[in-house]
Structure 1
Amino acid sequence: MRASGRPSFLLCGAVHPSPEVLRRVEFTLAAKRAKEAARVSRGGKGDVKVYTIPTYVYNVVSTDGSRGSVPEGVLRAQVDALNQAYSTAVLWQDMSESTSAASAGIQWKFDLQSITTVKAGDMCDAAVEKTVKAANRKGGKGALNLYITDLSSCGLLGYSSWPWELAPQSGKADAKVLDGVVIHHETLPGGSYKPYNMGRTCIHETGHWMGLYHVFQNGCSKGGDQVDDTPFQSSPTEGCPKSRDSCPQPGEDPFWNFMDYTDDKCMKGFTPLQHKRMAEFWELHRAQRD
């Protein structure tokens, strides 16, 4: 999808899972939910759970250093934007009312571990991407490795891996090496790609890394994005509308959600059940220790 009258980039390059993968992912998640429901019925606690995510940032610049370089302060500002975004929870029934992720019993903390400058070829080249990641990736399955680079040649603002790709049954032998989020450097706070220059691309792609689909997944069809408190939405949103209602089901489109394609300034938050879904995938795929 390209934004008309805006930078001619594909907003999100996350590879859409196949129907077979989607069925397996949702079946596994349903089984986990059944076990959790049984645990809660036996008196399990519902306290706020803190998820600390070790975060490693790589500024991947061109070999001659002429493209992709970002000041350290901007890289830190992007991590700050992640922490702010993942503390939000918007109630779609009343957009004037917001709360925190703690309302879902969840707290996320992106804990910056290091910032590393890497000189390499173009990460739009799959071979270069794998080489860069294999040489630099740090931490276990629960560590966010964030690569900030110039994606001009492939026309992307960003892309990410999916958490279930780490499962043995995914068949991806190099899943851990490739695990992470890759972001075009000009989408960071204060970048040149207006209206996508407030760091929301990184927030959006990290949402995929945590297991969230786009809010327009499956359009108005049954299932939607598999999150009950994000109303159905038929297609991506462009710009910054005051309102939009594209499906017959209850609720206006959640165009304000970080998992849509609206302008950065219009993105307000996640919902409580999106936080819950991210936590469920975390427990399934990222909480395991190597």
Structure 2
Amino acid sequence: MYFFITKNQTIMKRVFITAFTALVLFSCQNEQTESSDSTSAAIAHRGCATQEVLEAQLKEDPTLAIRMNEIEAFTSNRLLTNRLVNGKVEIPVVVNVLYKTAAENISDAQIQSQIDVLNADFNALNSDYNDVPALFSGVKANVGITFVLEKINRKSTTKTSWGTRDAMKKTKQGGLDPTSPTTKLNLWACTIGGGILGYAQFPGGSSATDGVVIDSKYFGVSGSANYPYNLGRTGTHEVGHWMNLRHIWGDASCGSDLVSDTPTHNTANYGVPAYPHYSTCTGTPVEMTMNYMDYTDDRGMYMFSLGQKSRMAAIFTSGGPRAGFGI
């Protein structure tokens, strides 16, 4: 539980969850297209295109909203009955590297560093885990999911940037098709462009495009040149989306992330906000700016909550959208 949320606030948040789910699953905004800007200045603020990609997919495939509503109903049922994964979930990972330059052809060591970061962050082994403030110490979570690098695929291309229209996931468009996406997590390392660090596909989308895309400059522990996104947390954030987590502010002012123990945020936070950072939403809660699903710098995010853990675990249970990865 988040101990400083009042009973009325909790009720309001639950009511908002229902309305927000309907809004998210049926709203369609402008599609994000490929960017040709591969030489832009350093990115000042984290950019994740997961929500925009979802909205484009919903526009193209109306049945996706139905599938995602079914996943939400399934998740809610699993949370209510507490029938979650009993045992360890181990995720085989396939990394697809698309490169035009030598710098984009990231090394095996850099790739392994991203796997190491995922294992640390999802198992509460990150060195900054103990920096979680006392206010949130009762809800910080060891998710208990591990990742194993299984294969690296590499392909030289002529593209300077790939955009967010999933071209990197399609061999016919110059990219690489995903490998066994129902039983393996596919990561693509490439130049995305447009100020986007990465994006993921939520459960329920097409298996032909399932996985996570991370700009090669922010893949793993890639060095001080890419500060403040050089600690592999773009991967942690995007894999969180792949496991059905929403942005902590709910992609709306005072929105809901569909998790009961995260405080309501005004909007995304950037940089490393000073603690405590108060929301002006109902009840003026202290925002959980150090949560992986906010937009802070890599060094500013270092926890998942117990509610997020339960939401992630639900998708791996029998009948869940990622049951192929479960035990």
TM-score (norm 1): 0.78
Q: Per the alignment, do residues 100 and 80 of structure 1 end up closer, same or farther by CA in structure 2, a change over 3 Å counting?
A: same
Q: CA deviation at 1:140?
A: 3.8
- C-alpha separation in 2, matches of 1:95 and 1:242: 15
1:184 aligned to 215, 221, 237, which one? 215
- Residues 290 and 302 of structure 2 are in contact (CA less than 8 Å); yes or no, is this contact kept in structure 1? yes
Q: CA deviation at 1:151?
A: 2.1
Counterpart residue identity of residue 51, structure 1: V
- C-alpha separation in 2, matches of 1:215 and 1:262: 11
Match of 1:164 in 2: 204
1:87 paired with 2:123, answer: yes
2:278 aligned to 241, 245, 257, which one? 245
1:33-44 equivalences in 2 (<5 Å): 33-34=76-77, 37-38=80-81
Q: Per the alignment, do residues 248 and 37 of structure 1 end up closer, same or farther by CA in structure 2, a change over 3 Å counting?
A: closer
Q: CA deviation at 1:6?
A: 5.5
Q: CA deviation at 1:147?
A: 0.9
2:247 aligned to 192, 207, 214, which one? 214
1:15-47 CA-to-partner distances (Å, cap 9, x unmatched) read: 344599678635643345436645x6xxx7x78
- Residues 46 and 297 of structure 2 are in contact (CA less than 8 Å); yes or no, is this contact kept in structure 1? no
Match of 2:51 in 1: 15
1:28-107 equivalences in 2 (<5 Å): 28-34=71-77, 37-38=80-81, 48-62=86-100, 65-88=101-124, 94-95=135-136, 100-101=141-142, 107=144
Counterpart residue identity of residue 159, structure 1: Y
Greater Cα shift, 89-98 or 108-117: 89-98
Q: CA deviation at 1:208?
A: 0.8
- C-alpha separation in 2, matches of 1:127 and 1:285: 20
Match of 1:168 in 2: none
TM-score (norm 2): 0.70
1:201-252 CA-to-partner distances (Å, cap 9, x unmatched) read: 111111111111000113324xx10101110001110111122111233631
- Residues 237 and 255 of structure 1 are in contact (CA less than 8 Å); yes or no, is this contact kept in structure 2? yes
Higher relative contact order (CA 8 A, sep 6+): 2
- C-alpha separation in 1, matches of 2:232 and 2:288: 19
Greater Cα shift, 143-152 or 198-207: 143-152
Q: Per the alignment, do residues 142 and 245 of structure 1 end up closer, same or farther by CA in structure 2, a change over 3 Å counting?
A: farther
Match of 2:259 in 1: 227
- C-alpha separation in 1, matches of 2:299 and 2:78: 39
Q: CA deviation at 1:144?
A: 0.7
Aligned length: 262
Q: Secondary structure at the match of 2:114?
A: helix
Q: CA deviation at 1:128?
A: 3.8
Match of 1:265 in 2: 299
Q: What is the percentage of aligned positions where both structures have the same residue?
A: 26
Q: Per the alignment, do residues 264 and 127 of structure 1 end up closer, same or farther by CA in structure 2, a change over 3 Å counting?
A: closer
Match of 1:172 in 2: none
Structure 1 spans left out of the alignment, 5+ residues: 166-174
Q: CA deviation at 1:159?
A: 0.9
Q: Per the alignment, do residues 129 and 35 of structure 1 end up closer, same or farther by CA in structure 2, a change over 3 Å counting?
A: closer
- Residues 166 and 209 of structure 2 are in contact (CA less than 8 Å); yes or no, is this contact kept in structure 1? no
2:316 aligned to 276, 279, 282, which one? 282
- C-alpha separation in 2, matches of 1:230 and 1:145: 28
Q: CA deviation at 1:11?
A: 1.3
Q: CA deviation at 1:124?
A: 1.4
